[in-house]
Amino acid sequence: MPVIVVANPKGGVGKSTLSSNIAGWFARQGHAVMLGDVDRQQSSRLWLRLRPAHLPRVVTWDISEDHIARPPKGTTHVVLDTPAGLHGKGLDAVMKLADKVIVPLQASVFDIYATQDFLTALAKKGRAEGKQVGVVGNRIKDHTKATEHLCEFLATIDVPLVTLLRDTQNYAHLAAHGLSLWDVPANRVEKDLGQWAPLQDWLTAP
């Protein structure tokens, strides 16, 4: 049972958006998906409440930062949305569960420097514990100095860049209705689906 953890100590980088879309994609594949929300803002839990009943089901997972247990039997895929400031025992707890850890990161000098030490420590911990760690560039604007700077930074650390996701209102519009990219006609989100393809490959690779 794969457990995907979405983590970044910096707030506002798009962890809940990424988590909910991963959960929505797994559900569309016919998997029994649980979406856990450790974040105090409970954004992923809100998305679940907004999700229409006729869509592929994603189930909530009642956990807290202080009590993270194995998911119930019958679950085939778990996505875990984590809070800003995740560190110490909380980070250790989710790392014990995780198979893969995704770090969403925006092309901002503030986000990069706020995440630098976390990424270095996470890469070291991942290697020690046999976990896969990858970065998803989030809310990216093409052909900007900020995006160039982000790619240059990632080239200096031992964490792969999985994909770049563009800055678009599609995600906000979908989230407002409890939807993922895979719950609407593909022609409405064609460019976004293309950007997700490398992440889908990474998530399903052994």
Number of domains observed in the structure of the chain: 1
For 149, the domain range is: 3-199
Residue 165's nearest CA partner among 188, 197, 134, 133 is 197
Give residue 23's pLDDT band: very low, low, confident or very high (50, 70, 90). very high
Examine residue 168 and state whether it is found in any structural domain, yes or no: yes
How far is 48 from 57, CA to CA, in rounded Å? 9
pLDDT (tens digit, 9 = 90+) per residue, 76-116? 999 999 877 777 777 787 788 899 999 999 999 999 998 99
- Which residue has better confidence, 62 or 32? 32
User: Is 93 inside a domain boundary?
Assistant: yes
Q: 198 by DSSP, 3-state: which?
A: helix
CATH number at residue 136: 3.40.50.300
pTM: 0.92
Is the predicted pLDDT of residue 33 greater than 80, yes or no? yes
DSSP-assigned letter for residue 51: S
Q: What percent of the chain has pLDDT over 90?
A: 62
92 found inside a domain = yes
pLDDT digits (tens, 9 = 90+) for 148-201: 999 999 888 889 999 999 999 999 999 999 999 999 999 999 999 999 999 999
What is the predicted pLDDT for the residue at 40?
61
Rg (CA), the chain: 16
